[in-house]
Structure 1
Amino acid sequence: MQNERPSLSFWQIWNMCLGFMGIQFGFALQNANVSRIFQTLGAKIDDIPILWVAAPLTGLIVQPIIGYMSDKTWGRLGRRRPYFFYGAIVTTAALVVMPNSPTLWVAAGMLWIMDASINVTMEPFRALVGDNLPNRQRALGYSLQSFFIGVGAVVASSLPWILSNWFDVSNTAAAGVIPPSVQYAFYVGGAFLLGCVMWTVFTTKEYSPEQLAAFNDDAQANTTIDTTQVINFARTLVVSGLSGAAIIAAVGVMDLEKELYLLGGLLLAFAMLQGIAAWQQRQGYTGNGFFAVVHDVFTMPKAMRQLAWVQFFSWFSLFAMWIYTTAAVTSHHYGSVDVTSKAYNDGADWVGVLFAAYNGFAALAALVIPVMVKRVGIRIAHALNLLLGALSLASFLVISDPAWLMLPMVGIGFAWASILSLPYAMLSSALPSSKMGVYMGIFNFFIVIPQLLAASILGLILKHGFANQPIYALIIGGVSFVLAALALTRVKLNH
């Protein structure tokens, strides 16, 4: 009986990770263009964060569910591949419909659908690396995923610009109409995503549950988690419940901004979930998926808890960059807030090129980062990359020529590639194979929660602290990168 996962060839790992390029193609189109679509359909600057809440909220809900389900799945398409297959089909359909949205609220609804289906497809890809590769090849697997993320996003982010400048497709349209260059970019993206994911589905094999159980090369493979362990949910239930109720009451009594309802509602929802889990624990109903996920949140490995703060501040920065770069560059560097003007649309196209550039630099960084890790260690390498990202975001305020904005894309590319690979490399040895999917889904909480917080408060901070100037959202993002680097000093590794 095989006791250790066999090493895979480079091309087997290539095929296994290729689908991630397609997923990132759709994700990059979303990141670079959805704010533009929202503004075109009439959204105001301070409305954009709350409209973007669909993306992180669907991830918060979908990823742990899909992770838990994929841990328990085995069928004709295997364990993780059914989620690739069906998620890719729905994502492709959403990409086709999104740029044809007739109203702002239709576009917001399509973002929910698109992001939910991307999450269904994306989450099992992280677990697949842990399933199929031995420990010694996992760093290569995650680095190759980062490489594909960079390559796919380069083309996707720049597609509207390419179509406009190389194929003479118009990048302007009547008020309230999405420009043709954006529409066609989404059509191409849908086809590319579907093709890449299906390549992985039909060229990659998975180990059966019996084969996975026989492997002992995972450092934590024999770790058992006692789901009957009694957890005291009361303290966090009371704190989150009272905090949520207080925030909601304050919004009503003090006439605060309505975005804070989201923050209060999330805290109340968290309290409710803990209450349900506490009741199930008392009744002995602990054999279901809901209790297992909530229980795992409170009993996650120590390394995962330590990395949570690093992820929190890292993704707060990224979300600030994604939702405000278009508004920041068009207003601060191109001097226009009129979404029908040529200056605004030229600036929005340039943001697509900048996003393509940082993803291109990320693809190159994915080849350099393993060398950095070997030289200075994984924690210092990640901290250096985060600080480079902080400096790059801050430079947007002092750079006046839009062409020179290409320079900070190098630092952002290194930070992005590092965020996509090194936290997972630090975490992978702490996760039992039997729960790889659900823990990867729970780890996503620390990606999603900061994005929800950003959607709740960034608009308020800009409105009351910075006269609604979106360029300062990028400065806030830079500060958050610094905090992420500082949080790394608390991370203790066992290897």
Structure 2
Amino acid sequence: MVRGGGNGEVELSVGARGGGGGAGGLVEPPVPISLGRLVLAGMVAGGVQYGWALQLSLLTPYVQTLGLSHALTSFMWLCGPIAGLVVQPCVGLYSDKCTSRWGRRRPFIMIGCILICIAVVIVGFSADIGAALGDSKEECSLYHGPRWHAAIVYVLGFWLLDFSNNTVQGPARALMADLSGKYGPSAANSIFCSWMALGNILGYSSGSTDKWHKWFPFLRTKACCEACANLKGAFLVAVLFLCMCLVVTLIFAKEVPYKRIAPLPTKANGQVEVEPSGPLAVFQGFRNLPSGMPSVLLVTGLTWLSWFPFILYDTDWMGREIYHGDPKGTPAQMSAFQDGVRAGAFGLLLNSIILGFSSFLIEPMCKRLGPRVVWVSSNFLVCIAMAATAIISWWSTKEFHEYVQHAITASKDIKIVCMLLFAFLGVPLAILYSVPFAVTAQLAASKGGGQGLCTGVLNISIVIPQVIIALGAGPWDQLFGKGNIPAFAAASAFALIGGIVGIFLLPKISRRSFRAVSTGGH
């Protein structure tokens, strides 16, 4: 139900139909859930994010050892946004209408996690599979040529992994909104964000370890040397961790099955009208989006346009602009670049730690200030941070030319400032991972349904900016003298625009509705 307050705010409350069943279904009031049970219900997010962090830290360097060029590697990453564009809205819609006795979301979460495990095994063992299919039989430490069978197997596994990740993420977020009850979607999304942060911490830590081949020597084979064995070990641990998280979520997320109570629509001649399915149903579902969602989608897109340059090129920025290295330069420059990349990976670890702690502050801030103020403020913080990268880069170049002629590296002070910047960005990133989804859940509740569809549609506003940045950042940087600063400058501008647009267009959700949005059954 939607109530208009005297100050123009929208206050939401949900009764028996608040689970997202839509016009033709019914979800009984959810069983009251304790906060501890709600926390455990979201644990699968940590397992999925663990594997995603390994993807970001390990797979780009690894695939180039199989024969794919750097350019092809960048295009390979486009499968993520393509999967998100197609899979999440469809899965979200299907999960809204799923009548399984196990619930609406859990069947999709379980199937997606099983597919993730299969994909991870394919990626980790791609070199061994390629050797069995006809790649070179030479010792991997001696042969440095292309291994095309392994590369093809890897790409197939990588695409399956991204499609599987998107199969899980949408229903997992919708599940948390369904179960949030008296705690509200804001608290549920903060919990989800915390699990993501924990998964990032564990994933980046696991990916930075080069001891897996020593701890599990049987992973090293004739076709798989130390780096490959390390990846294989990290990914096998990711499978075990994901399975544990999945079991906990399936046990503690007690869903109420969706039941259809309205008759199927009929045509004028009395025939039953077949409901659309697949992408067509998703496009028709756009017409039923809650009022306010278009503004949320626009601001979400602008916000992610300000984030993706840093997400995609942060470690490269550390290697090039801060450590003054070059991946194709002299041995000293190549070494400096790798030092910068490792420093950037450590910065991401700090970022994830701050993100985890900050996620617990999101709900109190939304209660006190309102979600719109919190979201807009995070955009302005990102604007300042992206502009700061240019200042830090100029400072680093000045220090390098004047004081550090004897070595290609970064000064101690600049390293500290960069680590502080990485850590600082954990706060607005926690807001980005939580508030847009909480606002979407609130708006979806206002029409009594569609949590899965709305969450999937919101993901479109994330993947389109990723495609734009992936295709445009390289030529944009090349146009203005290579490096990463032009893309970061554009990111600062997008953050500023997103903040200004958010002030005027974002729906003003009542702060009271973040305390309790579901009154039915409590």
TM-score range, shorter chain: 0.7 to 0.9
Q: Is the 8 A contact 2:304 2:462 kept in 1?
A: yes
Q: Provide TM-score, normalisation by structure 2.
A: 0.73
Counterpart position of 2:484: 470
Match among 336, 347, 351 for residue 326 of structure 2: 336
1:227-242 correspondence runs (5 A): none
Paired AA for residue 422 in structure 1: V
1:139-154 correspondence runs (5 A): 139-154=186-201
Counterpart position of 1:191: 240
Counterpart position of 1:133: 180
1:95 pairs with 2:108 = no
% identity of equivalent residues: 24
Paired AA for residue 48 in structure 2: I
Counterpart position of 1:54: 79
Q: Residue 91 of structure 1: CA displacement? A: 0.9
Q: Residue 360 of structure 1: CA displacement? A: 1.2
C-alpha RMSD of matched pairs (Å): 3.4
Counterpart position of 1:265: none
1:28 pairs with 2:70 = no
Larger Rg: 2
Counterpart position of 1:373: 366
Partner Cα distance (2:66, 2:265) in 1: 49
Seen in structure 2, the aligned counterparts of structure 1 residues 4 and 73 have a Cα distance that, compared at 3 Å, is closer
1:469 counterpart SS class = coil
Q: Residue 482 of structure 1: CA displacement? A: 2.4
Partner Cα distance (1:403, 1:101) in 2: 39
Partner Cα distance (1:95, 1:483) in 2: 39
CA displacement, residues 110-157 of structure 1 (integer Å, 9 cap, x when unaligned): 321111001111110111122222264322111111111111111212
Paired AA for residue 111 in structure 2: Y
Match among 349, 352, 356 for residue 349 of structure 2: 356
Q: Residue 287 of structure 1: CA displacement? A: 1.7
Paired AA for residue 472 in structure 2: I
Partner Cα distance (1:458, 1:70) in 2: 35
Q: Is the 8 A contact 2:306 2:382 kept in 1?
A: no
Q: Residue 338 of structure 1: CA displacement? A: 4.2
Moved over 6 A (4+): 165-170, 174-177
Counterpart position of 1:268: none
Q: Residue 372 of structure 1: CA displacement? A: 2.5
Q: Residue 379 of structure 1: CA displacement? A: 1.4
Paired AA for residue 34 in structure 2: S
Aligned positions, number: 425
Q: Residue 352 of structure 1: CA displacement? A: 2.4
Counterpart position of 1:289: 277
Paired AA for residue 314 in structure 2: T
Q: Is the 8 A contact 1:325 1:471 kept in 2?
A: no
Comparing 104-113 and 353-362, the one that deviates more: 104-113
Partner Cα distance (1:40, 1:403) in 2: 33
Partner Cα distance (2:232, 2:320) in 1: 24
Partner Cα distance (1:166, 1:404) in 2: 34
Structure 1, unmatched stretches of 5+, are 214-223, 229-283
Seen in structure 2, the aligned counterparts of structure 1 residues 444 and 154 have a Cα distance that, compared at 3 Å, is same
Q: Is the 8 A contact 2:212 2:229 kept in 1?
A: no
Partner Cα distance (1:394, 1:94) in 2: 39
Match among 295, 303, 323 for residue 314 of structure 1: 303
> By percentage of residues, which structure has more helix?
1
Seen in structure 2, the aligned counterparts of structure 1 residues 89 and 345 have a Cα distance that, compared at 3 Å, is farther
1:187-266 correspondence runs (5 A): 187-210=236-259
Counterpart position of 2:422: 409
1:302 counterpart SS class = coil
Q: Is the 8 A contact 1:324 1:474 kept in 2?
A: no
CA displacement, residues 400-450 of structure 1 (integer Å, 9 cap, x when unaligned): 344532111223211211111111222222214442212211121111111
Q: Is the 8 A contact 2:119 2:161 kept in 1?
A: yes
Partner Cα distance (2:107, 2:212) in 1: 39
Match among 456, 461, 470 for residue 471 of structure 2: 456
Comparing 404-413 and 54-63, the one that deviates more: 404-413
Seen in structure 2, the aligned counterparts of structure 1 residues 333 and 377 have a Cα distance that, compared at 3 Å, is same
